[in-house]
Structure 1
């Protein structure tokens, strides 16, 4: 919070019980829980971090996203460059 203030960034929190105020991240969180987090039992933080890294790579590079025309986020980024 201090860093945000130092750089002139105003933080606005969503109201409790109003996830629709930040639907994009709520949708992503649901995807993370359903496709990755809920599928594993982790023994260590390192194991969780490794699985998260692998899932995120797959999410960005192999998994088509229907919201952006059925291509991967990596493909969309390439097209924008």
Structure 2
């Protein structure tokens, strides 16, 4: 489903007419953080830093399919395997289950909630721990 609210900085990707019209049309609230105050969006700034440092800067993608598969592996590790100090050393999936147990079924679903798979088989260009296709 759609989000109730989007919190963003004032980057051009979040101030375009198209995205603002979509938010208005779908009745999604929009909140901008104050310029120069990334601490107001600390959780996503932390996540973006980890995604960039652990994954994007370490992986050379050979195709869109490879990028999707590798990102799926990284996301699975981040959400299902790795404990987070800010969540009392639970994984995000474990923490989400404490908030809404029914939602856990969607988080653990191999197919997710998307209408079709986001990733296909990996075509490896350079290997790192995120670029290997994990099954099972």
- TM-score over 0.5 for the pair: yes
Where does residue 20 of structure 1 map in the other structure?
39
Where does residue 39 of structure 1 map in the other structure?
58
**Which is bigger in relative contact order (C-alpha 8 A, separation at least 6)?**
2
Where does residue 28 of structure 2 map in the other structure?
9
Where does residue 76 of structure 1 map in the other structure?
95
- C-alpha distance in 1 between matches for 2:68 and 2:25: 30
- C-alpha distance in 2 between matches for 1:50 and 1:35: 15
The gaps in structure 1 that reach 5 residues or longer are none
Bigger share in strand: 2
TM-score normalized by the length of structure 1: 0.81
Measure how far apart 1:43 and its partner are.
Answer: 1.4
The gaps in structure 2 that reach 5 residues or longer are 1-19, 102-136
Measure how far apart 1:2 and its partner are.
Answer: 1.7
Cα distance per residue 1:5-60 (max 9 Å; x no partner): 11333434445554333222111100101111111111111111110011001111
Where does residue 64 of structure 1 map in the other structure?
83
Instruction: Give the RMSD, CA atoms, in angstroms.
Output: 1.8
